[in-house]
Amino acid sequence: MRPLISTTDLAAALAGPAGDRPVVLDVRWRLAGPPGAESYREGHLPGAVFTDLDSVLAGEPGEGGRHPLPDPADLQRDLRAAGIRTGTPVVAYDDADGSVAARAWWLLRWAGHDEVAVLDGGYAAWAAEGHPISTEEPRPEPGDITVSPGGMPVLDADEAAALARDGLLLDARAAPRYTGETEPVDPRAGHIPGAVNAPFSAHTAADGRWRPPAELAERFAGLGLRPGEPVGAYCGSGVTASSVVLALELAGHPGAGLYAGSWSHWSRDPHRPAATGTLPG
């Protein structure tokens, strides 16, 4: 299954035989503002199951960062409750820039479930094109998915530091947080020394759809990525960096590492250095 699915293709899949339909996950979430669950109740894709970032797609915040990886047993329980079975296609969508949907895509891939895609353009594109919207909350039959971690590479702090030195480590945050000009959430400002700023917002166009693979490949080449070079990504808490991993795959660079704890983990340790300014350091 390719990482992205169009609204047209998803609509056709949902109109197909019941046994062949994908499980659709509504993963709308906001750092500030009304909870995604409220938006879900107001309207969602038919049959979509609301899946919370904080309680399903991440573990409890703490030493591992603000959105650490969930416990595999907990994740398996929640994915089964959503009706996901082994081999069942899964489609995730949000209503913003695709980054939370990309977290769902990455997490399912990490869990060993390859049949997963992000809805290109998300909820906004679906609604704008006149596809059906529902307020009915489904009650899916329990699934049988088995979570087997290891399907996607995960970096710890030391590995992220080494990659920033010996390969290419991309920082997905906005420039003011990368430079250390501001830090509204985490303990310290700045970035991992050697990391290159690659704001995740550049991966999608104004309409919320992902940029073509050729454009993404050109962007990563401009950031210094060479063919075959080890590459990884981090952000504030490991969510938006997932969209960098997805964009890299679209651009022909699969298997990028994700520093799951990201800056929220790195900045908790006063012994780890923090670079500031526009240069990697």
DSSP string, 206-237: TTSPBPPHHHHHHHHHHTTPPTT--EEEE-SS
Q: By C-alpha distance, which of 237, 241, 243, 245 is closest to 267?
A: 237
| Cα–Cα distance measured from residue 37 to residue 95, given in angstroms and rounded to the nearest whole number | 12
What backbone torsions phi and psi does residue 168 show, to the nearest 5 degrees? -135, 120
Other beta carbons less than 10 A from residue 109's beta carbon: 19
Other beta carbons less than 10 A from residue 11's beta carbon: 16
By annotation, the residues acting in catalysis are 235
Angle, CA of 269, 274 and 280, to the nearest 5°? 145
List C-alpha distances in Å: 188 to 7, 185, 265: 40, 9, 11
